[in-house]
Amino acid sequence: MRRRLYLLAMILFIFATLITTVFVASFNPRYYTKMYDELAVSETIGVSDEELKDVTITLFRYIKGKQPSLDHEVTINGQRVEMFNEREKAHMVDVKNLYLKARFIRDISMIFVAVMLVISLGTGDYLDYNLNKKIVKESLLIVSVVIITVGVMAVLDFTTFWITFHKLVFTNDLWLLDPATDRMISMVPEPVFMGLVYRILVMVLAEFAVLTLAYFGLDWMDKKNDSRRTISA
C-alpha cells in the first residue's frame, strides 16, 4: 500500500512540476515583449509599446487573482478606450478560474508529496534505492505517455491541438474571438501561443532529462549496495 502511495506522490510531483513550468513560461513578460516586436502587435492594434506592456501586466495580475477586473484604458487614434470588450472579459473569467484551479491542484499535490516525504524519512524508505528507482521509472513511463501524446499533437498540427485544448477545458465558445472586434486575439495571435507551447515542451524535456538522470543514479546506487551485500555474504 505504501509503495502505491509513493508512486502516486511521484506522479503528482511530476504533474505539479509541469503545472509550475506552464506558469513560469506563460507569465514571462520578456517573451511577450519579444513576440510583440516580431509580430508588430502595437502597430496592428494601434497602441504604444508601453501601453501594450502595461496591458500585459494587467492581464497577468488579473489571471493570478491580484486584480479585481480587466478594466484598462488605452489610447487608440487619439481616444481613450477600453482595451477589452465584454466578451473578452467574460472569456478571461474562464481563464482565471482555470488558472486558480490548476494552482490549487498543484498546491494540494505538493502537500501530499510533502506528507509522503516525511513518511519516507520516518520509515527509512528513502534509503531503499531499489524501491525508489522503480517508483521513478514507473512514474516517468506513466507521465511520458501523456506528455508525448500532447507534444506530438502540438508539433504535427498546432491549430487542431489548440482548438481541441480549448474545447476540453472550456464549457462555452467565448474563446472564439474575432480579430475584427476583439483586440485580445490581435494581442496574442496563434504564433504567440505556438511559441509558448514549444518553449514549455523544451522545458518539460529538460525536467524529464533530470528525472532520467535521477533514475540512473538510483540504479547505480542500488547495484553498488547489491555488490556490497554480495561481498559481505
Domain presence at residue 123: yes
Report which of residues 95 and 77 the model is more confident about.
95
Q: pTM of the prediction?
A: 0.88
Average pLDDT of the segment spanning 83-101: 96
Domain presence at residue 232: no
pLDDT at 68: 93
Q: What is the pLDDT of residues 213-229, one digit of tens each?
A: 998 998 888 787 766 65
Domain presence at residue 209: yes
Lowest mean pLDDT across 3-7, 62-66, 126-130, 183-187? 126-130
Domain presence at residue 231: no
Domain hosting residue 92, numbered range: 2-226
pLDDT band at 126 (very low <50, low <70, confident <90, very high): confident
Domain presence at residue 110: yes
Domain presence at residue 233: no
Average pLDDT of the segment spanning 98-111: 97
Number of folded domains that form the chain: 1
**Per-residue burial over 54-86, b = 16 or more CB atoms within 10 Å of its CB, e = otherwise:** ebbebbbebbeeebeebebebeeeeeeeebbee
Domain presence at residue 216: yes
pLDDT at 187: 95
pLDDT at 130: 87
Q: What is the pLDDT of residues 24-71, one digit of tens each?
A: 999 999 999 999 999 999 999 999 999 999 999 999 999 999 999 999
Domain presence at residue 63: yes
